[in-house]
Amino acid sequence: MDESILKSTKISDTIFSNVQKYSHPEYQYLLLLENILENGTWEIGRNGRTKSVFGQSMRFSLENGSIPILTTKKTAWKTCLKELLWFIRGETDNKILKSQGVHIWDANGSREFLDSRGLTRYEVDELGPIYGYQWRNFNKPYVTNKQRELSSFKNGSAWSDESLIEGLEDKGVDQLQQIIDALKDPEQRTSRRLIMTAWNPCQLNQMALPPCHILCQFNVHDGNKLSCSMYQRSNDEACGTPFNITSYSFLTHLLAKHCGLEAYEFVYFKGNCHIYEDHIDGIKQQITREPFPFPTLTIKEKRENINDYQVEDFEIHNYQHHPQIKFLMVP
């Protein structure tokens, strides 16, 4: 064979091999990490020094049960799922997560951190009207634990939202239930208004931590294919992003199951994408790893109420991953 033809063939084979390799959707994440390391700018922020870029998007298929749990380091998907179910139930008490062995909110629920936010009236582990509160009770006036205790026997009866304090009767908006009701209705499920937001400027100063993932939109096309897009203003690429991808993919699969649809795609829009200085060595190690195929998810049964799903209802199949890389979360 002519040497030039042989050389050309080898180049073609190499290109094809690289295309095949980089077709794995996890490379969207790994290439972003590499871009931040190489082209990001150093900034001093609220909680430390970061290297960052602004603006990124990713897409992950959810078809045939696929779920994008990142594989280049072990992702604690059960911890992620427990937090999601806590959000879904509208919970804001970190003690509930602690009782399940979940400690991702501990630093933000500490006495020192709450006081730094001016939330001196909150008890330790009281997080205020954060994600789940806004999902299920958007803009409902927030009542602290101490207020509840002081009013628990008002008029000789147990505390209730309706009788607590004059002027706090508003129940807020259950955004998640509105979306569920629409998705179950063939005439409403193709609406372009299926939006749920955690960003509430009226209550930001009452939250232990203003939300990072602030808005999601659900979309049904081709009759029954459910997708979710999410916008996140602030992305801790080492600790946060792997959880955020998994969490909203879980949520999309769950709503599809609950509403009689098929999960199709998770689309991720990202604002400030940053790596903390202390995370850089671990990130450099992670980007050298080749991803494994994503696992699949089975939700064993459809429950009557969205609040009733348990961790045991979710089965992950064939999750293959590289060893854990320990990144300390920066509060």
- For residues 251 and 249, give the distance between their C-alpha atoms in angstroms, rounded to a whole number: 5
- 152-198 confidence digits (pLDDT tens): 545 443 334 444 444 445 789 999 999 999 999 999 999 999 999 99
Instruction: Please provide the average confidence, as pLDDT, over all residues in the chain.
Output: 90
Confidence of residue 48 (pLDDT cuts 50, 70, 90): confident
Quote the pLDDT of residue 152.
56
Q: Residue 123's closest CA among 168, 93, 151?
A: 93
Which domains are assigned to the chain? 31-76+187-317 (3.30.572.10)
- 244-264 confidence digits (pLDDT tens): 999 999 999 999 999 999 999
Quote the pLDDT of residue 167.
47
| pTM of the entire predicted model | 0.88
Quote the pLDDT of residue 156.
42
Q: Are strands 48-61 and 225-236 parallel, antiparallel or unpaired?
A: unpaired
Q: Residue 147's closest CA among 179, 172, 174, 123?
A: 123
Average pLDDT (55-74) is 98
In the annotation, is 80 catalytic? Answer: no
Four-point Cα dihedral 10, 12, 18, 22, nearest 10 = -170
Quote the pLDDT of residue 180.
98
User: 80, 212, 239, 259: which is the annotated catalytic residue?
Assistant: 212
- 105-154 confidence digits (pLDDT tens): 999 999 999 999 999 999 999 999 999 999 999 999 999 988 888 765 45
- Strands ordered across the beta sheet of 225-236: 41-45, 48-61, 262-276, 225-236, 213-221, 195-197
